[in-house]
């Protein structure tokens, strides 16, 4: 019962929705119609971006209210959220993951490392940025990007 009282006292923690982002959605996202299943791929990240993605799907930012939902399989996914510079061992798994996703699919590179290798550019274990391995539709900058920016990118995809 104490949990029930806690739920009543806490009420709603989700922040009011910011205005809809103005950026045009990537061409592959036009048919999604307010629903996007998201698969996260950690291609070699330091886990900073993962923490921000987890925050974006948490109760405060609540990316789920815009129709984005995390799924367990690339076969169910429309969006791949790829984080980190692509390490040599993760290049092939990343290619296979995007190949397993049914068309139309959207690849979002999250964080500076995913966009241009960031801190790890030129390291011996790094194959390249995400764009060097699979075609990228949308980029989210920042090290790590703020949850608002991840949510804004997901809203651009879902169009809500």
Partner 1 sequence: MSGTGLTAVAAQIVVVISGAPLLAGWMRQVRARMEGRAGAGVLQPWRDTRKLLRKEPITPIGTGPAFRTAPALLVATTAVVAALVPLLSTTTPVSAHADLILVVALLALGTVALALAGLDSGTAFGGMGASREMTVAALVEPTILVAVFAFSIPAGSTNLAAIVAGAVREPSRLASPAGLLATAALAVAVLAETGRIPVDNPATHLELTMVHEAMVLEYSGPDLALVELGAQMRLTVLLGLLASLFAPWGIATDASWPALAVALAAFVVKVAVLGAVLAAAEVFWAKVRLFRVPELLAGSFLLALLAVTSSYFLSGE
Contact range with partner 1 by CB under 8 A, out of 41-49, 66-74, 89-97, 137-145: 66-74
Q: Which of 26, 48, 71, 146 binds partner 1 (CB under 8 A)?
A: 71
Tokens at 132, concatenated: 């060097």
Residue 128 as a binder of partner 1 (CB under 8 A): the answer is: no
Strand partners, 37: 69
**Contact criterion met (CB below 8 Å) for 114 and 142:** no
**Contact criterion met (CB below 8 Å) for 126 and 85:** yes
> What mask, x for binding partner 1 by CB under 8 A, covers residues 76 to 115?
x-x---------------------xxxxx-----------
| Residue of 81, 7, 9, 3 lying closest to 45 (CA atoms) | 81
Tokens at 160, concatenated: 């809500």
Q: Which residues of the shown chain bind partner 1 in the complex (CB under 8 A)? A: 3, 7, 10-14, 17, 31-37, 59, 62, 64-67, 69-73, 75-76, 78, 100-104
């Amino acid at each position: 019962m104490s949990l029930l009282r806690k739920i009543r006292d806490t009420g709603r923690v989700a922040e009011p929705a910011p205005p809809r982002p103005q950026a045009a959605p990537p061409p592959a996202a036009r048919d999604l119609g307010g629903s996007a299943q998201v698969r996260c791929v950690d291609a070699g990240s330091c886990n900073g971006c993962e923490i921000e993605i987890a925050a974006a799907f948490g109760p405060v930012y609540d990316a789920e209210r815009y129709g984005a939902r995390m799924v367990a399989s690339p076969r169910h996914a429309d969006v791949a959220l790829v984080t980190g510079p692509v390490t040599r061992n993760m290049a092939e798994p990343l290619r296979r993951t995007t190949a397993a996703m049914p068309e139309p699919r959207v690849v979002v590179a999250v964080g500076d490392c995913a966009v241009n290798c960031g801190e790890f550019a030129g390291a011996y274990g790094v194959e390249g940025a995400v764009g060097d391995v699979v075609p990228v539709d949308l980029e989210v900058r920042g090290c790590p990007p703020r949850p608002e920016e991840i949510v804004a990118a997901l809203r651009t995809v879902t169009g809500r």
